[in-house]
Structure 1
Amino acid sequence: MIRSIRGMAAVCAVASLALAPVSAMAMGSSSSDDSSSSKPAAAAKPSNYKMGVAAVEAQNWSKAIELMAAAIDDNPKNADAFNYLGYAKRKSGDYDGAIRAYNVALDLDPEHKGAHEYIGQAYLETGNMAEAEKHLKALDSICTFGCAEYSSLKDAVSKAKGTS
């Protein structure tokens, strides 16, 4: 039994040596003298958008604003990036900038639930109940069977009115 295990180990070792050049080629090495092609590829850097989302989650508003602006440069039609930019600006106290960003998100995607909720929150925080209610009504229309964004803004409007 021990001899057969040793024999299998020897066969495996020989097979691995025989296959080593093939597997190295499969991993992207090159037979040319260009040393850069034989180096392992660097790990892919996360996108500005993904790093921006992480900054929002960490409540690092200035970094989130910087990264979402870069994400928008990368993809100017990303309504989610504009929504996150608005959120970070609102949380940092830049209500005008937040409302501009939310409006761009809504121009890109008129049914963006998050943008409707957050712009409604921004309007509440700046004392503009009529605009907040306009976005609550939009969410009521978009969320046929209800949604978290509608419930959240509805609760905030009720609280602001003192009717909660």
Structure 2
Amino acid sequence: MVASMIRLVTLGAFAALLASSAYAAGGGGGGGGGGGGANPYDPYGSAYSTPSTVQPTYPRRPGTKASQKTKKPHNQSSIGDPAFAAGYRAAYDTIYERNDYAAAIEQLKALGHDDHPNVANLIGYSYRKLGDYKQSQVWYERALKADPNHVLTWQYYGLWQLEQGNREQALYHLSRIAAICGTDCEEYKSLAAALEKPTGTALVY
């Protein structure tokens, strides 16, 4: 049942992508539906991240060998300021090395960039790991307001939806991920795998 719903979500997302590609190929002056204007984190002329000499940090995934040095994630907003990047990296390590979510929230807020999607997403993640789902939702929404195509937020927020029992919403998040980076990206695979698990199963992220 869930697998067939995921397939339908994926087919729908690809159909929408094909339709938008066909429209773009036909030229025309830019008004009309879908997608909005240029994204401020967009080095490729579409909705991806801003170019930078500093690679954005990216949460590790169990069982994968790709590192943030060798694989740039889909649509993760870059962190160009060295001091900001160093502070963010310290908070990142506090989360993923020490699992000290309360301290990480303080570190992230101290950066003074609450509206940066990477920062807001990790604050939301930290609140979620502390069990504060209300605050977690506030920060996930803040991340998506800053960058509606921030694929990692769609994944983490989709897991939030699953933990709240909102499977239909999680499927919608899966469709957004498919539209942004396809079905081969790690964000899609992770959320799709979580959707296949029985309700109530403990989730890694």
- 1:93 corresponds in structure 2 to 131
Q: TM-score, normalised by structure 1?
A: 0.65
- Corresponding residue for 1:154? 192
Query: Larger C-alpha radius of gyration, 1 or 2?
Result: 1
* Correspondence 1:3-152 to 2 at 5 A: 47-57=86-96, 58-71=98-111, 74-144=112-182, 146-152=184-190
Q: Identity of aligned pairs, percent?
A: 33
In the alignment, the residues of structure 1 paired with residue 84 and residue 172 of structure 2 have an alpha-carbon distance, to the nearest angstrom, of 40
8 Å CA contact retained: 1:124, 1:160: no
Q: How many residue pairs get matched?
A: 117
Kindly provide the amino acid, as one letter, of the partner of residue 92 in structure 2: V
CA spacing shift, 1:46–1:106, aligned 2, 3 Å: closer
Greater RCO (Cα-Cα under 8 Å, separation 6 or more): 2
Greater percentage in helix: 1
Looking at structure 1, the residues matched to 103 and 144 of structure 2 have their Cα atoms a distance apart, in angstroms, of 23
Gaps of 5+ in 1: 1-43
Is the Cα–Cα contact under 8 Å of residues 183 and 189 in structure 2 kept in the other structure? no
CA deviation profile, 1:9-61 (whole Å, cap 9, x unmatched)? xxxxxxxxxxxxxxxxxxxxxxxxxxxxxxxxxxx898432221111112111
Runs of 4+ in 1 over 3 A off after TM superposition: 44-48
Cα distance in 2 between the residues matched to 1:101 and 1:70: 15
Counterpart in 2 of 1:20? none
- How far off is 1:68 after superposition? 1.4
Q: CA deviation at 1:95?
A: 1.0
User: Following the alignment from structure 1 to structure 2, what is the Cα–Cα distance between the partners of residues 48 and 77?
Assistant: 15
**In structure 1, how many angstroms separate the alpha carbons of the residues matched to 2:85 and 2:147?**
25
By how many angstroms is 1:76 displaced? 3.5
Give 1:113 deviation, angstroms. Answer: 1.2
* SS in structure 2 of the partner of residue 133 of structure 1: helix
Unaligned runs of 5+ in 2: 1-82, 201-205
Q: Distance in 2 between matches of 1:99 and 1:147?
A: 24
